[in-house]
A and B are shown apart, each in its own frame.
Chain A
Amino acid sequence: MSQQILLAVGWIGLALICMLLLSALSRSGAFETEARALTLLKEWLPPKQRACYERFRYFDVVGSDTGTRYRIHHGTQTNIEELSHTGQRVCKWCFAPEGNLVAGDVMLAQKIALETNERGALSVAHRTFVSMGR
């Protein structure tokens, strides 16, 4: 009987170790994907946007159709602010590429979309008005 208990405990311990190993592998894969996406984002950012992003974790872009300035914050959801000509936040926009992409990829797609096809991007976006100040 005690041998059976020991065997069961052994199997449970082994299963736990396997789960921990799989979890660690999965986390390291996700980390690698995020790091690769951030590297790509920085490669596509011009020096001014890159410096701003590295310092503040956001960068500004100018819309291709209206010349409006948008601030893209690090993130994947509701991370775009529309700014007034005085730099005040007017509203927030939410759009992203389909799929469960990491922040670097989402921000890069948002940048390209706003800088090349602003109206197209905003036509699918959700807009929210929020109180002033962060």
Chain B
Amino acid sequence: MASQIVMDRTGDTRFDNQDRAEVTKAEQRFRELTGAGFTAAVRSGLGEQRIIRSFDPTAEETLFYPRLVGG
């Protein structure tokens, strides 16, 4: 199972990345979130991460955080 973790009130979603329908839904969610200004990051190693601009169905965990603003 892969997961999409969103830093907001909507909570996290898990999806089976072997299931085409679930992957399509996850990709749609990815597009909606990044289109709304969220940044998507995946862990690429022990404590390392990278930003992704397009949906990666092989990523075990994708984290979305909202647009950054000055405090």
Residues of A within 8 A of B (CB): 40, 44-49, 77-78, 94-99, 101, 105, 108-109, 112-113, 115-117, 120-121, 124-126
Contact = CB atoms under 8 A, between A and B. Distances in A.
The 10 closest A-B pairs by CB, nearest first: A46-B47, A94-B71, A109-B65, A97-B66, A98-B66, A126-B70, A105-B7, A97-B65, A77-B71, A116-B51
B48 interface: yes
Given A40-B5, A105-B7, A117-B51, A46 B69 contact: no
Nearest to A116: B51
- Secondary structure class of chain B's binding surface, majority of residues: strand
Contacts of B5: 40
Interface in B17-69: 37, 39, 41, 43, 46-51, 63, 65-69
A108 B65 contact: yes
A94 B51 contact: no
A96 B68 contact: yes
Contacts of B51: 112, 116-117
A97 B67 contact: yes
